[in-house]
Structure 1
């Protein structure tokens, strides 16, 4: 067994019960400010620009790549990435320094990986990170490109224009074929599109008000039957509880001193966001991991949301 597989197999996600943690947090008066309603946020257009700039500065500051460890657990958490067929296309949204892209490329030599980020500087670091792996056949399957998918959307070459038009009409003339065996002829002729999208600790970094638009963009470039693989910060994660009251910029939404922001998801919020965009829920759960700080010996309780979303197959409603 390879070192990569060995390390992935040791990953665990049920170290404690999330409901027990919730009760503890919500009964602690010192943490009550995390539960309070928040006034309506300001205009998000400026916030989005500021957020992009903050993340660009963050990645420049951490250009060595040591801040992010390679996410080798992904192959265990999302085994479809290992078993997908030759020529399978994956879109990694918000690739950062490549800590998600590299284990995917290593785990399956049949995958072609497109990776986007809003910062050219960050993409250069990702290219260097992948190149430094010295793994044969990795670099030529890695295709990074600069894109702020939240404000400008994905480039047209990821999917065909006709698919985008059909997606726009979804709410008017189309319905889901979820409960069928999916043998109907569809009106979508995806000559482009991707088989998988990985959205790993990316959505939490964009303003809450722009999340629905971001998720619809992801839906629009997935092939029918494609999967979106989601993992992000969960409600009452240790890092959420460390934020001070003045760092709140929304309900369950916080801004760090460097200007980067983070939202902490409940299962219901994730479910509603993705179902409203057209996804089918296949799996959603809290991953609860307890680790120990080696320096001070303190126990840390981490919470992430892990989810699969399946793209709807859309068929035209018959008028006969």
Structure 2
């Protein structure tokens, strides 16, 4: 994750602001924009086709920042025996508990399992069940082929989170935690409120949203060339996936129906010694709770 969280002064902020103003002057052309919007699923499929399993990294920071995801045991991975992998009944399910005690986590934009698999490995909770969805059918297929994919403990499916209605395998008011890690930024800002309202509907009263995403003036935003800007602080990457850069205030506004447990900015200094450059990674991390 890099160094500790750093402060930056008004001079650095001003320089970043100017850089963004420059790279936003020329926006993407109409034809390109049409392709981005109409073929978004294909662009994400291509992304996962290229990266496949190389994309799967154990996110070491996951349980440090979000201990709620595996509260029972995060100290050691669960030992997985070959005979209980995959679709076989795992030993944790020999004593099935009633539905009432089940703890449901749902990750939107689960990709190839960078969050779900570490939770399954680290958590020994026999009542934990994890759902995951992604816009990309390629990502979901890659995930289902992973030996860690255990149908007794998780279920993943294709879903466009911006759709008017969600077709999901769980009831309203049934989720304990919804995970949004570097996913909301890939959605058109005008569609974000609708996604948040669906999350509200499916979370239990008292349920939690954990959020981590790109912050305004992150290194990735400053690196964009002119002509890649779609709208304010919203860009098309070279691979035609989209990315938005948030402020804390925008995140607060999106979750205004929720109770705020956390909303912080995490700035990490990265030094490129070869080019004598200092660059900043900027992330926003937040936790919001549905009122009881």
TM-score, normalised via structure 1 length:
0.72
Structure-2 separation of matches of 1:31 and 1:156: 38
Q: How has the CA–CA distance of structure 1 residues 209 and 84 changed in structure 2, closer, same or farther, with 3 Å as cutoff?
A: farther
Q: How has the CA–CA distance of structure 1 residues 62 and 221 changed in structure 2, closer, same or farther, with 3 Å as cutoff?
A: same
Contact 1:15–1:289 (CA under 8 A) maintained in structure 2: yes
Instruction: Tell me the alpha carbon deviations over residues 244-300 of structure 1, each in whole angstroms, 9 at most, x when there is no partner.
Output: 12000000000012211100000111111111xx21211101111223459878544
Structure-1 separation of matches of 2:166 and 2:208: 17
Q: For residue 234 of structure 1, what is the aligned residue in structure 2?
A: 215
Contact 1:48–1:206 (CA under 8 A) maintained in structure 2: no
**DSSP 3-state at the match of 1:309:** strand
* 1:265 equivalenced with 2:255 (yes/no): no
Instruction: Tell me the alpha carbon deviations over residues 152-186 of structure 1, each in whole angstroms, 9 at most, x when there is no partner.
Output: 543254214xxxxxxxxxxxxxxxxxxxxxxxxxx
Structure-1 separation of matches of 2:195 and 2:36: 15
**DSSP 3-state at the match of 2:207:** strand
Structure-2 separation of matches of 1:94 and 1:292: 30
Structure-2 separation of matches of 1:37 and 1:282: 38
Contact 1:38–1:250 (CA under 8 A) maintained in structure 2: yes
Gaps in structure 2 of 5+ consecutive residues: 74-100
Contact 2:25–2:226 (CA under 8 A) maintained in structure 1: no
Structure-2 separation of matches of 1:310 and 1:233: 21
The answer to which of 229-238 and 295-304 deviates more is 295-304
Structure 1 stretches of at least 4 aligned residues deviating more than 6 Å after TM superposition = 35-39, 294-297
Contact 1:47–1:207 (CA under 8 A) maintained in structure 2: no
RMSD over equivalenced CA pairs, Å: 3.0
**DSSP 3-state at the match of 1:32:** helix
**DSSP 3-state at the match of 2:41:** helix
Q: For residue 290 of structure 1, what is the aligned residue in structure 2?
A: 269
Count residues with an aligned counterpart: 260
Contact 1:281–1:308 (CA under 8 A) maintained in structure 2: yes
**DSSP 3-state at the match of 2:39:** helix
Q: How has the CA–CA distance of structure 1 residues 242 and 45 changed in structure 2, closer, same or farther, with 3 Å as cutoff?
A: closer
The higher-RCO structure (CA 8 Å, 6+ apart) is 2
TM-score, normalised via structure 2 length:
0.78
Structure-2 separation of matches of 1:121 and 1:250: 28
Q: How has the CA–CA distance of structure 1 residues 55 and 88 changed in structure 2, closer, same or farther, with 3 Å as cutoff?
A: same
Q: How has the CA–CA distance of structure 1 residues 247 and 99 changed in structure 2, closer, same or farther, with 3 Å as cutoff?
A: same
